């Protein structure tokens, strides 16, 4: 009789499974959203630190390039520290640092979407929209 129960968990099982699947997907989405928010925040901070450092440096652009090289060496399994991306972090910070209305909004979308907006929208109102 126990074998029958294991292979046929009953009529409520399908409903239970459906509920659990929905809950797992909700948790996955929440985790992904949290990771994206943290990543955009990290890139904002890196951009800010580069800009602050470059104000006092003779060779400002070299800092971003060296930082990219050193970060890739330190974190070889983590993507996102390419020379181009580090420059985007700097540009991202410079573009939005004085716009307090937009700052919370950019944290709500992923880095890739922010890059698309950064590259394609040159008008501040268009970027805000």
Q: Looking at the domain assignment, is residue 32 inside a domain?
A: yes
Q: Looking at the domain assignment, is residue 33 inside a domain?
A: yes
Q: Looking at the domain assignment, is residue 103 inside a domain?
A: yes
Q: Looking at the domain assignment, is residue 4 inside a domain?
A: no
Of 38, 32, 50, 36, which Cα lies nearest the Cα of 92? Answer: 50
Q: Give mean pLDDT, residues 103-112.
A: 83
On the question of pLDDT at 125 being above 50, the answer is yes
The label of the residue with tokens 């716009």 reads 99
CA distance 33 to 85: 20
Q: Give mean pLDDT, residues 58-79.
A: 85
- If one counts the domains in the chain, the total is 1
The answer for residues whose C-beta is within 8 angstroms of residue 36's C-beta and 6 or more apart is 109, 110, 111
Q: Two tokens at 101?
A: 């209305």
Q: Which domain holds residue 50?
A: 11-128
Q: Give mean pLDDT, residues 18-32.
A: 94
Q: How confident is the model at residue 1 (pLDDT cuts 50, 70, 90)?
A: very low
Q: Looking at the domain assignment, is residue 24 inside a domain?
A: yes
Of 25, 1, 94, which Cα lies nearest the Cα of 54? Answer: 94
Q: Looking at the domain assignment, is residue 2 inside a domain?
A: no
């Amino acid at each position: 009789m126990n074998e029958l129960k294991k292979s046929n968990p009953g009529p409520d099982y399908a409903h239970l499974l459906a509920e659990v699947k929905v809950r797992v997907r909700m948790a996955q989405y929440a985790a992904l959203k949290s990771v994206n928010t943290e990543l955009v925040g990290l890139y904002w901070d890196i951009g800010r630190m580069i800009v602050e450092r470059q104000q006092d440096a003779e060779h400002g652009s070299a800092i971003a390039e060296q930082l990219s090289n050193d970060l890739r060496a330190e974190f070889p399994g983590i993507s996102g520290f390419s020379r181009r991306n580090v420059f985007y972090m700097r540009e991202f910070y410079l573009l939005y640092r004085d716009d307090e209305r937009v700052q919370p909004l950019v944290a709500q979308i992923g880095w890739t979407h922010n890059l698309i907006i950064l590259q394609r929208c040159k008008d501040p109102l268009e970027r805000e929209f």
